C-alpha cells in the first residue's frame, strides 16, 4: 500500500510541471483560409474630349473641343465597367469602355443633302498589380499592363440632286504597354480616397499615353462601395495620315460590389 502511494505521489510530482507548461502556452490559432476575392465595378464617365484628330484619312486633321454635353447629344450608347481579382498581394485587373456617337447635319448646295459621321471607340485594359505596402493608413500597389484601342469611323454623305451616296470608313487599332501605380488612403469611418495612374506607349504603338484617376470612396457595407471623382485619359497615336492626339477627361461615378 505504501509502495502504491509512493508511486502515485511521484507521478503527480512529475506531471505537475508538464501540466503547468501546457497551460501557459496559448492555443495555436487556425491558419486563415487563403483564396481569391473579386470585385466588379460599373461606372459612368461624363467625358469631354480635347485635342486634334484625323480619323478619316486622307481628310485633313481637325481640332477637337467637345464638352460632354456636345457628345451626349449625338451619343447612341456606351458601356463601361471593370473587374479585379485579388490573391494575396497580387491583383489582376480588367477594364472596358465602349461608346458610339453619330453627329450629322445638312449640307449646303444641291448636290448632297446631308452628312453623318459614325464613331465607335473601344478601349480594353488589363493589368497586374503587386501590393508593396499595407497598414491601417494606406495601401500602395505597383504593376504593369496593356491598353488596347480600336477606333472605327464611317462617313456617309446622302445624295441630293446627284443620285449618288458616298460611304467611306476607316478603322485603326493598337496596343500600348503601360506601367501603373495605385494608392488608397483610409480616412475616418467608411471614407477613403484612391489615386491611380499609368503611363506608357513609349513609341511602341502610340507615342505616349497616360491615365490619372482620383476618387473619394464610401464603404456602404461589407460588399458595396460607392465612388465619385475625376478621370483623365490621354493618347497620342500616329500612323501614316491617321492622327489621334486627344485627352478625354471628366467626372466619374462608380459602384463596386465585392465578394
Write the Ramachandran bin of 77: left for phi over 0, alpha for psi from -120 to 50, otherwise beta.
left
In the predicted model, what is the mean pLDDT of residues 43-52? 97
Whole-model pTM? 0.83
In the predicted model, what is the mean pLDDT of residues 182-208? 97
Give residue 253's domain range.
37-101+120-150+173-258
167, part of any domain: no
We report the CATH number of the domain holding residue 138 as 2.40.128.100
Q: pLDDT at position 107, please?
A: 76
Res. 20: pLDDT tops 60: no
C-alpha to C-alpha distance for 216 and 187, rounded to whole angstroms: 10
Per the structure, how many domains does the chain have?
Answer: 1
204, part of any domain: yes
16, part of any domain: no
Least confident of 155-159, 180-184, 196-200: 155-159
Instruction: Report the candidate in 87, 95, 97 with the shortest Cα–Cα distance to residue 129.
Output: 87
C-alpha to C-alpha distance for 126 and 227, rounded to whole angstroms: 21
Q: pLDDT at position 12, please?
A: 37
**CA separation, residue 109 to residues 104, 112, 157 (Å):** 16, 7, 13
51, part of any domain: yes
C-alpha to C-alpha distance for 150 and 96, rounded to whole angstroms: 12
Is residue 199 within 8 Å of residue 179, measured between CB atoms?
yes
231, part of any domain: yes
159, part of any domain: no
% of the chain surpassing 90 pLDDT? 76
Q: Indicate the helix (H) or strand (E) that contains 19.
A: helix 2-24
Is residue 91 within 8 Å of residue 129, measured between CB atoms?
yes
Q: pLDDT at position 27, please?
A: 40
Residue with cell 484619312: 57
20, part of any domain: no
In the predicted model, what is the mean pLDDT of residues 117-125? 96
Res. 5: pLDDT tops 50: no
Query: Model confidence over 217-242: pLDDT tens digits?
Result: 999 999 999 999 999 999 999 999 99
Amino acid at each position: 500500500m505504501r509502495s502504491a502511494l509512493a508511486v502515485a505521489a511521484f507521478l503527480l510530482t512529475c506531471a505537475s510541471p508538464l501540466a503547468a507548461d501546457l497551460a501557459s502556452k496559448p492555443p495555436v490559432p487556425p491558419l486563415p483560409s487563403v483564396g481569391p476575392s473579386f470585385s466588379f465595378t460599373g461606372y459612368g464617365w461624363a467625358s469631354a474630349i480635347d485635342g486634334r484628330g484625323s480619323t478619316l484619312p486622307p481628310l485633313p486633321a481637325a481640332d477637337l473641343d467637345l464638352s460632354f454635353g456636345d457628345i451626349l447629344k449625338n451619343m447612341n450608347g456606351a458601356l463601361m465597367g471593370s473587374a479585379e481579382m485579388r490573391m494575396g498581394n497580387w491583383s489582376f485587373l480588367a477594364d472596358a469602355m465602349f461608346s458610339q456617337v453619330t453627329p450629322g447635319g445638312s449640307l449646303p448646295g444641291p448636290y448632297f443633302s446631308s452628312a453623318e459621321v459614325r464613331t465607335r471607340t473601344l478601349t480594353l485594359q488589363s493589368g497586374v498589380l503587386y501590393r508593396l505596402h499595407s497598414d491601417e493608413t494606406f495601401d500602395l500597389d505597383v504593376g504593369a499592363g496593356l491598353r488596347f484601342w480600336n477606333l472605327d469611323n464611317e462617313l456617309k454623305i446622302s445624295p441630293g440632286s446627284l443620285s449618288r451616296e458616298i460611304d467611306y470608313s476607316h478603322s485603326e487599332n493598337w496596343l500600348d504597354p503601360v506601367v501603373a501605380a495605385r494608392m488608397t488612403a483610409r480616412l475616418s469611418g467608411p471614407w477613403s480616397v484612391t489615386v491611380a495612374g499609368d503611363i506608357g506607349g513609349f513609341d511602341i504603338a502610340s507615342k505616349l499615353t497616360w491615365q490619372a484617376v482620383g476618387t473619394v470612396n464610401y464603404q456602404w457595407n461589407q460588399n458595396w462601395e460607392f465612388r465619385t471623382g475625376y478621370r483623365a485619359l490621354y493618347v497620342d497615336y500616329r500612323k501614316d495620315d491617321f492622327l489621334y492626339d486627344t485627352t478625354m477627361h471628366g467626372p466619374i461615378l462608380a459602384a463596386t460590389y465585392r465578394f
